[in-house]
Structure 1
């Protein structure tokens, strides 16, 4: 696979064999009038030797054969980017997998800002009562429980996600009819069902689809004009997966979060929402409101299957975006975490 490396790459990591490296096309990030300012690693305080090591790993066919893109943003400026598959990689939309969940969280923050949702302790049964069974515990499930993965509803990994994709009736009823395996609010259970219930909340409270709501209130303000968002058979966008974005546009959502839900001096998310969403909120200490947390780096992440990452470190004003083939082994997923560590260490 050919790679276009939009960063001057000189020297290779000592642990990577020379023959495993594809020769990149060397350049700095190019201004494309897409809302990104470009800069250089040196100008933004990034150790260039360490960054070269990271990009050497990224560019290794042996070490990271399924890597698609690696972008580094510092102080709000794009300083390095590389794409698998040639020059068209910069414009290719990719399945960001469960990074979609964090974007759903941002949309809940926008719905709060617009007054469509009064507070996250609102029970789902008051929003779409027609889809909630006559069960007192299920009636107590709230928006917050969905945000913290604590609805208590049964979820069995990929088989459950596949069933959600294939169900022909109401996707909300399909989920709400699942048995409870714990009391709502009592136990963390990672699930594609919880954020999908929020897709139903946004659709009901906004009077439009979540995709249309996202387009008008998040994507368009950020200059995101290219995406695909897959939906269930009843027309609801999947709240937990299957949003396709270009890496640069995915990076904008990371910058939006780093800005505290502001863009071009306009508060789009409810003030304080991102700060709350990126702190521990669940019984799982590594989870906020549909965001993963990395306390060791004082950072938070959007994270998806196959090693999709938007890593945000507010203290360093650093964003790292990595995308890959959306289905890969745990070993390759681990390599993507190693890659993020290398870039993090390069940012001084």
Structure 2
């Protein structure tokens, strides 16, 4: 594995590679870092020499971390069950609560990105035509999400939706009575020995639950190991089993659980994926965890996949 990865890096086949940590059987078996230009949610950081202590954007892998936090909060009785009515959790929006078209929406529909509401993130993440950016620019992000027009029956079709993750983050913060990042620090990160992290804030002085978390690759891998270990005493084991159970088909052999992807084609893995080549993959049958960070932001070509392929080559 190490030889294959090093060859890829020497040959310059992954020019925007930033970091890699591979664990097998609970032990780190490979760790590599690169260098290059980087960004923090679009803000240029210049040329960065990455090492073990460098925090990195997780982008949409943040969504998968939010799902873990939801399970912890659920075990503590702080948030509603997945089957609970979603809009009713925001009683300040009485017009939406009273809308019969939205009465059937549940927390689970947010967890599985099957809300059936109008949402489009195909535009660049610098444009208000992108629904996630429009959400951040709106006066009230939660109202913005929940008042989107109903376009199809909920629970049937998966549509990528950062707004769903934002709403989940809001439920956690409300239930915990403190900001999402503070709850994350005490409920998930510190129990794992993770003291260094950042969570970028959006326009509302509230962290971006959908994309803003920054961790070291070694700590991202530690979260993956936690999932592989069944949650230990940090995340309820029952929740983890629900988290990674296929609930909606995205494509053949590629499905979705609760804010976690489930790959069932060829090689089974569960994981979080983020813009630019951010990945956390957990392969239970092989006791393998792969944490990969890169800088291919907003690019059609994902050069860092060559590193992942080298890791997973049989």
- Answer yes or no: same fold by TM over 0.5: yes
Distance (whole Å) between structure 1 residues aligned to residue 307 and residue 263 of structure 2: 15
Give distance in 2, aligned partners of 1:294 and 1:156. 23
Q: Identify which of 12, 24, 46 aligns with 1:74.
A: 24
1:241-289 Cα offsets, whole Å, 9 max, x none, are: 1111111111111111111112xxxx22222212221121124351111
Q: Distance in 1 between matches of 2:8 and 2:136?
A: 35
Is residue 61–residue 211 contact of structure 2 (8 Å, CA) maintained in 1?
A: yes
Higher relative CO (CA 8 A, sep ≥ 6), structure 1 or 2?
A: 2
CA contact (8 A) 2:2 2:30 kept: no
Sort the Cα spacing of 1:117 and 1:328 in 2 relative to 1 into closer, same or farther, 3 A. Answer: closer
Q: Is 2:34 the partner of 1:84?
A: yes
The corresponding residue for 2:101 is 137
Distance 1:131 1:235, change over 3 A: farther
Matches within 5 A, 1:80-119: 80-85=30-35, 89-119=51-81
| TM-score normalized with structure 1 length | 0.78
Kept in 2: contact 1:260–1:273 (CA 8 A): no
Alignment RMSD? 1.9
Q: Which residue of 1 aligns with 2:85?
A: 123
TM-score, normalized by length of structure 2? 0.86
Q: Measure, in 2, the Cα distance between the counterparts of 1:56 and 1:180.
A: 50
Specify every segment of 5 or more residues in structure 2 that has no aligned partner in the other structure, as ranges.
36-47
Match of 1:345 in 2: 313
SS of corresponding position for 1:321: strand
* CA–CA separation in structure 1 for the residues paired with 2:29 and 2:246: 30
Does the Cα contact within 8 Å between 1:211 and 1:229 map onto a contact in 2? yes
Residue in structure 2 matched with residue 234 of structure 1 by the alignment: 204
In structure 2, the residue corresponding to 1:140 is in which secondary structure? Answer: coil
Aligned: 1:53 with 2:4? yes
Aligned match of 1:319 in 280, 284, 289? 289
1:217 maps onto 2:187 in alignment: yes
Query: Which residue in 1 is equivalent to 2:244?
Result: 278
Aligned partners of 1:186 and 1:283 also within 8 Å: no
Is contact 1:148-1:290 (8 Å) kept?
A: yes
1:60 to 1:130, Cα distance in 2 relative to 1, 3 A:
farther
Q: Which runs of 5+ in 1 are unaligned?
A: 1-49
Count matched residues: 289
Which has the greater radius of gyration? 1
Does the aligned pair in 1 maintain the 2:16–2:304 contact within 8 Å?
Answer: no
SS of the equivalent of 1:272 reads helix
SS in structure 2 of the partner of residue 116 of structure 1: coil
* Segments of 4+ moved more than 4 angstroms: none
Aligned equivalents of 1:165 and 1:223: distance in 2?
A: 32
8 Å CA contact 2:8–2:306 kept in 1: the answer is no
Q: Is the 8 A contact 1:70 1:320 kept in 2?
A: yes
Map of 1:162 onto structure 2: 133
- CA distance in structure 2 between the aligned counterparts of 1:269 and 1:303, rounded to whole angstroms: 20
Paired with 1:58 and 1:286, the residues of 2 have a C-alpha distance of 31
